[in-house]
Structure 1
Amino acid sequence: MNNHFQGQSFLKEIDFTPAELTYLIDFASHLKALKAQHIPHPYLQGKNIALLFEKTSTRTRSAFTVAANDLGAHPEFLGKNDIQFGTKESVVDTAKVLGSMYDGIEFRGFKQATVEDLAQYSGVPVWNGLTDDWHPTQILADFLTLKEHFGHLKGLTLAYVGDGRNNMANSLLVAGAMLGINMAIGAPAALQPDAHVTALAQQYAQAAGSTVVITADPQQAVAQADALYTDVWVSMGEQVDYGARIKQLLPFQINADLLAATSKATTIVMHCLPALHDHQTDLGAKLGEQYQLAAFEITDDVFQSKQSVVFEEAANRMPAIKAVMAATLGDLFIPDSIFA
């Protein structure tokens, strides 16, 4: 017996095998059930966790904090203005210092290279809470939500529409293919996934017996989809012409018409949040008035509909993150037969 996860970092989906990702999703489901039944599960009693944030956060920060507390660990939030990281101290030096005091490190920020360096030089498990390239803890929550809803993952069809080059599109495409989900990305040609990401997904899809479709036709992308997924049209820190981006992506907005185009009454709607679905935010109001639009990547009627699972998905960030931390840091007994 050897714990596949102990001491490992989770920097991107392909750090683990499809069987290991499946285990983490199922373990998250188990931990969620334990919490619902008020059964303590302090796998990380006495551990200290550093939460290193370059980018702002609602779900990731809350999920890591609550998950660490539930597991008996002590989380410490280190915001970009709280420590010397990046301004007066290098990533490598920071990694060595944090690794000497903490048992695990979460990082949410811009460059994938930063989280890779933290893992290389800290000597402790490092977890990617989002970079510009990948968002692996979000994916576990997404697939936990899908599995809860449909009872299985293999053979489902998931269509992502919008900016096909962002971290969510990358993570969904690759991890979905790994788990045997038929993946479709609907995006204009200029915003389709990088060739190396698509090639990686196709390689996994071939092994899993699933399909990968990349198309500039929104109707084709969503045909027969069990789940429609979208994300904001402009990523955090991205400098773009909003007007041009909106014009590019408006045909890919998840609205009643696009939802109907799946031809399935059972299709669910997903979004990693935050979403510009109304004018109840400063940004939504400002852009909405400027471009005369009630909503952007998803309309409010669909966002609030019975087919939307966005808040279940958001809540599932916590057990998904808890599973990753417990598996990599908790000295769990996991029989090899699970991965055979």
Structure 2
Amino acid sequence: MLKCDIPTSEIAKGLKGRDLLTLLDYTSEEISYLLNYANQMKKNMLLGDMPPILAGKTLGMIFEKHSTRTRISFEVGMNQLGGQAMFMNARDMQIGRGESVYDTGHVLSEYLDGVMIRANSHEMVKELAEHSTIPIINGLTDIYHPCQALADLLTILEVKGSLAGYKLVYVGDGNNVAHSLVIAAAHMGMHVVVATPQGYEFNPNLLVKAKAIAEANEGSVLETTNPVEAVTDADVVYTDTWTSMGQEEEAAKRLEEFKDFQINDELVAYAKKDYMFLHCLPAHREEEVATSVIDGPNSYVFQQAGNRLHAQKAVLASLL
């Protein structure tokens, strides 16, 4: 398990009522706490031990983007913790017809105990948090996907037994998933390599911050345009779809420019024999990943997807 020198009671007290917008706002100790809590919650669930610690609480879930894993895992998670989750399509709300974020935040704070929002703009989510008195949880924005990153690290922790010192390689688009994954891994002292095609690099400002976090935790963050160099001796190989929601018009161009970044048998031959393959899903077989890899013995993508439930229950229980 992950070590933490700060008493867990103090960390728990510090998390109550907080927002989760980006893992840049969280300390390494707080992320360790959430991962340990998620790990314990998963074990307890398998033993049938599910105390209703969020009984009487209601989570509002706002969606501007389509969702499978985010919606189901948050809704099931609230139910398992004794609370309720309310699905709200942004197009059906007054915010979808021009009501200000200021008014929306104040109104929702009168009704709900927390909001999870899957949005187009991170700036809008930040504004919502500024004008709300309840925790706001980022379920995905154009820049970050922190809940996914917690599930990713939980999966690596389960399989490898620890995180510090392992080599994690992300190959593909330097997008929101990559941003949160690298930041989270840096907090845990992992050695991270990001391999992207030219023109699709990791956000340079976030790269500087991730490197500083990694250095403080005896890890490292490197960037390259060479996927073979990146994957060599990797413990974990991670990719995401080449064309995210809202980028459909770029699909043909991206297929051409990312073709040398496919995770296939030839590429993973450079990784360690016991490497893990991860993908946040949904996946496009024979595009960003070969079927033989994602459906092969080193793939943990469904365990990873399942861990969204447990990581998010830890977040909900801590913040709400």
TM-score normalised to the size of structure 2? Answer: 0.95
The aligned counterpart of 1:292 is none
Bigger shift: 90-99 or 20-29?
90-99
SS of the aligned residue for 1:22 comes to helix
CA RMSD of aligned residues (A): 1.1
Pairing of 1:140-151 with structure 2 (within 5 A): 140-151=150-161
* Structure 2 CA distance for aligned equivalents of residues 103 and 78 of structure 1: 15
SS of the aligned residue for 2:303 comes to helix
Pairing of 1:23-42 with structure 2 (within 5 A): 23-42=33-52
Are residue 314 (structure 1) and residue 310 (structure 2) matched? Answer: no
* Structure 1 CA distance for aligned equivalents of residues 83 and 251 of structure 2: 42
The aligned counterpart of 2:111 is 101
SS of the aligned residue for 1:85 comes to helix
Q: Deviations over 1:105-142 (max 9, x none)?
A: 00001111121112111100010000010000001100
SS of the aligned residue for 1:86 comes to helix
Bigger shift: 92-101 or 128-137?
92-101
- 8 Å CA contact 1:71–1:322 kept in 2: the answer is yes
Q: Which amino acid aligns with 1:186?
A: A
Pairing of 1:136-175 with structure 2 (within 5 A): 136-164=146-174, 166-175=175-184
The aligned counterpart of 1:273 is 281
* Structure 1 CA distance for aligned equivalents of residues 225 and 171 of structure 2: 10
TM-score normalised to the size of structure 1? Answer: 0.89
Q: Deviations over 1:266-321 (max 9, x none)?
A: 001000000001xxxxxxxxxxxxxxxxx100011111001000000000000100
Structure 1 gaps of 5+ residues are 278-294, 330-340
The aligned counterpart of 2:187 is 178
* Structure 2 CA distance for aligned equivalents of residues 106 and 243 of structure 1: 33
Pairing of 1:1-340 with structure 2 (within 5 A): 2=10, 3-164=13-174, 166-262=175-271, 264-277=272-285, 295-329=286-320
Residues 56, 271 of structure 1: alpha-carbon distance in 2 compared, 3 angstrom cutoff: same
- The number of aligned residues is 310
Q: Where in structure 1 do 4 or more consecutive aligned residues deviate above 6 Å? A: none
Q: Deviations over 1:206-233 (max 9, x none)?
A: 1011121100101011111101000000
- 8 Å CA contact 2:243–2:250 kept in 1: the answer is no
* Structure 2 CA distance for aligned equivalents of residues 169 and 297 of structure 1: 14
* Structure 1 CA distance for aligned equivalents of residues 173 and 79 of structure 2: 35
SS of the aligned residue for 1:183 comes to strand
Could you tell me how far 1:84 is from its partner in structure 2? 1.6
SS of the aligned residue for 1:25 comes to helix
SS of the aligned residue for 2:154 comes to helix
Percent of aligned positions with the same letter in both sequences? 39
Q: Deviations over 1:135-180 (max 9, x none)?
A: 000011000000000000000111000112x101111121111110
Q: Which amino acid aligns with 2:252?
A: G
